[in-house]
A and B are shown apart, each in its own frame.
Chain A
Amino acid sequence: MQTFLHRRALCRPRKLHLWYGLAALPLIAAQTAHAVPAYARQTGSACADCHAGAYGPALTPYGMRFKMNGYTDTDGQGTKIPAAIQINGTRTVPAKGQSSNQLSEADIYLAGRVSDHVGGFVKVADYNTGNNKFNTQLSDVDLRFVAKDLKLADKEALIGVSFNNNPGFDDPVDALPAATLNGPPTVSGTLLNPSSSNTLAHRVYGASLYALYDKNWYGELGTYNSLPTSMQNNLGYRISGDPGKLSDTVYARFAYLRDFKRQFVSAGLVGLTTKRQLPRSGPSESLTDLGYDVTYQYLGNHENIVQLAYVNIMERRRYATTPFGPIPGLVALPRGVVHDQSLTATYVFKQSYGVTISHMVSTGTHDIVRYVPYGEPDTSSNSLTVFWTPFGKDDSFTTIANLRLAVEWFHFNKFNGSSDNVFGAPPGAPMTNARDLNAFVIFASVAF
C-alpha cells in the first residue's frame, strides 16, 4: 500500500550502510479494510458478524474462526460469485504541502470457498500514484487448505495450510501489523512490520502449517522466500523496495485464544528469523524478530464493543557489514536491536459508529553511522480515527455491501530520532520537523 504520505517521502539511501536509516514515512493504510462482501454473500452473515465496525479489518472471534476455517464457511445455498470490489476516495490535508482529493484506490477481491476444504483471499489493488495515474499491484494473498472437525486426544482440532505473501497476514488474532495494516511508522522497523523499508509484505511467498487445538490453542510454523525482482516488478512493485535474497527463513506463531462470547482474550508469541542478502549480490545479514501480543474484546450484546490490542516486536540484527562513518574513527555497530510497539483501542457503538486511538513507537539501538543524522531511528506517532459504517448489519438496508466514512488525524511526536529538523538540514536550509509530517485524512470507501 502506497499512500500519499508513504509516497511523499519514500526514498532509498544511496549509501548501503544507510539502508536502515531513512526509508519510508508512515503507512496510513488502516482504512483499506478487508471486509469482503463476497464472504457475506457466501455465508449469509452480515459484515458486522466478522468485523466489530462492520467494515474491518479488526475481527470478532467469529471472524477469526471464519479465517481459520479457510474462508470456507457457507450458508449452504449454492455457489456464490467469489468476487468483490472496493473503491476508496481520500482527501489528504498534510500539515505541510498541498492538499489533495483523489480516487485513491480501487480493489478487486477474489475471495471465497472452492470446497469445504479449500478457500482463499486474493486482493488486487489499483493505487492512484498521483495525477490520476494508477499502478496495479497484487496485494495480499492467502490461499488455504483446511481439515476441520478433527479429533486429537478427544479434543476438537483443525489443521490447515496457508499459502500467503505477507508474514502475519494470515494470523487469526488480527493484531500483528501485517493483519491490521497498522504497523508503526518507522525509519528502521522490524521485518514483521509492513511499514518498514524493504518490507517482506507482498514481495515474498511462503507456506505455513497451522493448527487450532481444543478451540483455544493456536500454533503455526512456516517458511518464506522472496520473489525474484523481475516478478516483483511484474506484480506492480518497484525493484528499489526489494526485500533482498532470503534464506533459512522460519516463521512461528503460538497463541492462546479464549472466546467467552461476551468477551474475548488472547495472548501470543510470534517469531521470524531469516538470513538476508541486501543487495542480493552482497553479504548475508541475520535478522530475528521475536514478539508478543495481547488482546481483549468486550462484545456484550454487540451494542457497545471495545477492542484493545498491544503488540511488541523486537528484532535482533547481525549486520552484514560495519561501514565507516563520515568522521575518522566512527564505525557502525556490528549488531543492533529495533523495537516496534503499538497500542490500539477501539470503541464501536451499534456496530456503526466508532473511534480508534493508536499509539505507535519504533525505536532502535543508537548507531551514529547507520542512523543519520542523530544516530537514533526512534519514531513515535499517534492516530485518531472516527468512522461511520451505516450498513452491513443484520437489520440494516443491506447486509452484504457497505459504505465507510472516516476521518483520521495522524500526529508525529518524533521522527528519525528527533522532534525538530528530523532530516538534519544544515543551518539556513529548509527544515522538516516531526509535526510537519502530521496529516488529516478523510476517507470514503464503498464495498460491494
Chain B
Amino acid sequence: MSQRFLEHGLRGSAIAGLLIGWMLASPMVRAGDASAGADVFKSECAECHSPKQGKNKKGPSLFDIVGRPAGTAPNYKYTDALTQGKWTWTTDKLHWYLSQPARKANPGTRMKYDGLDDPKQLDDLITYLGTLH
C-alpha cells in the first residue's frame, strides 16, 4: 500500500515537474494577460510594427515573433547589428530586449525604443506577442 502510494506520488511529482518545465519553456511563462498586452502593443509598438503576417512598417512584422531567429522577417532590410546578433526571440530574450533601450541591447540597431519599465505591461506584451501566429 505504502509502495503504491509512493509510486503514485513519484508519478505525480514527475508530471508536475514536466508541467512546470513546459510552462517555463512556453510563451505563457510570464503569465501575462494577452488582451492587456494587445493594448500595450497598440500604444508602444504598433506605429512601427504590424502584427500582420508579411506587413513590414518602419520595423519588421511581429507575426510569429516568438521563436523566430533574429533578423529573419521576410522582405525586411535589417541592420547588420541585428542579423549578426544570432539569437532567437524567445520570451526571455524579448523580455531582456524590451526592458531596456533598444540601442543598449543591440548597439547599431535602427530601432529607437526606450524600453518598457512596467514589468506587468512587459509580461502582458510578451504574452500577446506569443499569440501572433
Which residues of A come within 8 Å of B, CB atoms?
A: 43-45, 49, 60, 62, 73-77, 261-262, 299-303, 394
Return chain A residues, CB-CB under 8 Å to B43.
Answer: 261-262, 299-302
Residue from A45, A60, A299, A303 within 8 A of B58 (CB atoms): A45
Q: Does B50 contact A (CB under 8 A)?
A: yes
The 8 Å CB contact of B50, one of A261, A262, A299, A394, is: A394
A77 touching B77 by the CB < 8 A rule?
Answer: yes
* A301, B58: Cα distance in complex, Å: 19
State in angstroms the CA–CA spacing of A44 and B75 once bound together: 12
Give bound CA distance, A112 to B58, whole Å: 14
What B residues does A45 contact at CB under 8 A? 47-48, 57-58
Contact status A75-B39, CB under 8 Å = no
Contact in complex: B44, A43 (CB < 8 Å): no
> B76 interface residue, CB < 8 Å from A?
yes
Task: Collect the chain A residues with CB atoms within 8 Å of residue B57's CB.
Answer: 43-45, 49, 75
- Is B42 located at the chain interface by the 8 A CB criterion? yes
How does the 8 Å CB contact mask read for B38-59 relative to A, with 1 for contact and 0 for none?
1100111011101010011110
- Chain B residues with CB under 8 A of A49: 46-47, 57
The verdict on A76 contacting B50 (CB below 8 Å), with A45-B57, A301-B42 known, is no
Q: Say how far A265's CB is from chain B's closest CB, in angstroms.
A: 16
B residues 15-46 near A (Cβ < 8 Å) are 38-39, 42-44, 46
- Inter-chain contacts of B75 with A (CB < 8 A): 77
A301-B39, A394-B52 known; A73+B46 contact, CB < 8 A: no
Q: How far is the CA of A45 from the CA of B48 in the complex (A)?
A: 7
Q: A44-B57, A45-B47, A49-B47 are in contact. Are A76 and B77 (CB under 8 A)?
A: yes
Please provide the 4 A-B residue pairs with the shortest distance between their CB atoms, ordered closest to farther.
A76-B77, A44-B57, A301-B39, A62-B47
Would B46 and A302 count as touching, CB distance under 8 A? yes
Q: Report the minimum CB–CB distance from B38 to chain A (whole Å).
A: 8
Measured between C-beta atoms, what is the minimum distance from B108 to chain A in Å? 11
Contacting residues, chain B, for A62 (C-beta < 8 A): 47
Kindly identify which residue among B38, B39, B42, B56 contacts A44, using a CB–CB cutoff of 8 Å: B56
Q: How far is A344 from B69 in the complex, measured between Cα atoms in Å? A: 47
User: Whole-angstrom distance between the alpha carbons of A121 and B43 in the complex?
Assistant: 27
Closest-CB distance, A353 to chain B (whole angstroms): 17
Note all chain B residues with C-beta closer than 8 A to A43: 57-58
B80-109 interface (Cβ within 8 A of A): none
With a CB–CB cut-off of 8 A, which chain A residues contact B42? 301-303
Return B103 CB to nearest CB of chain A, in Å.
Answer: 9
Question: What are the residues of chain A within 8 A of B39 when measuring CB–CB?
Answer: 300-301
How far apart are A267's CB and chain B's nearest CB, in angstroms? 21
**Given the complex of chains A and B, what is the CA–CA distance between A76 and B42 in angstroms?**
22
With most chain A CB atoms within 10 A of its CB, the pick from B39, B56, B58 is: B58
Total residues of chain B contacting the partner, CB 8 A: 17
Q: Report yes or no: A394 in contact with B58, Cβ–Cβ below 8 A.
A: no
What B residues does A299 contact at CB under 8 A?
43
Alpha-carbon gap, A215 to B110, bound state (A): 15
User: Is there an interface contact between A73 and B58, defined as CB atoms closer than 8 Å?
Assistant: yes
Would you give 17 A-B contacts (Cβ < 8 Å), ordered by A? A43-B57, A44-B57, A45-B48, A45-B58, A49-B46, A62-B47, A75-B56, A76-B77, A77-B56, A77-B75, A261-B43, A261-B44, A299-B43, A300-B43, A301-B42, A302-B42, A303-B42
A167 to B75, alpha carbons, bound, how many Å?
A: 40
* A259 CB, min distance to chain B CBs, angstroms: 10
Which residues on A sit within 8 Å (CB–CB) of B77?
Answer: 76-77
CA distance A43 to B56 in the complex (A): 9
Contacts of A77 in B (CB 8 A): 56, 75-77
- Cα A262 to Cα B41 in complex, Å, equals 11
CB-defined contacts of B52 to chain A, threshold 8 Å = 394
A199 to B106, CA, bound (A): 49
Contact of A76 among B38, B44, B56 (CB under 8 A): B56
Q: How far is the CA of A62 from the CA of B57 in the complex (A)?
A: 13
**Considering only CB atoms, which chain B residue lies closest to A44 in the complex?**
B57
User: Besides the contacts A43-B58, A45-B48, A74-B58, what 13 more A-B pairs have beta carbons closer than 8 Å?
Assistant: A44-B55, A44-B56, A45-B47, A45-B57, A60-B47, A73-B58, A75-B58, A77-B77, A262-B43, A300-B43, A301-B43, A302-B42, A303-B42
CB neighbours (8 Å) of B50 from chain A are 44, 394
A98 CB to closest chain B CB (Å) equals 45
Query: A76 vs B77: C-alpha distance in the bound complex, in angstroms?
Result: 6
CA distance A108 to B51 in the complex (A): 32
Alpha-carbon separation in the docked complex, A60 to B39 (Å): 17
Closest to B38 in A: A301
Complex Cα spacing A299 to B46, Å = 13
CB of B82, distance to nearest CB on chain A (Å): 12
Q: How far is the CA of A300 from the CA of B44 in the complex (A)?
A: 10
Cβ distance A264 to chain B, nearest Cβ, rounded Å: 11
CA distance A75 to B74 in the complex (A): 12
Compute how far the CA of A302 lies from the CA of B46 in the bound complex, rounded to whole angstroms.
10
Q: Which residues of B contact A303 (CB under 8 A)?
A: 42
CB proximity of B28 to chain A, nearest CB, Å: 22
How far apart are B94's CB and chain A's nearest CB, in angstroms? 18
Q: Quick one: which of B39, B57, B77 has the most chain A CB within 10 A?
A: B57
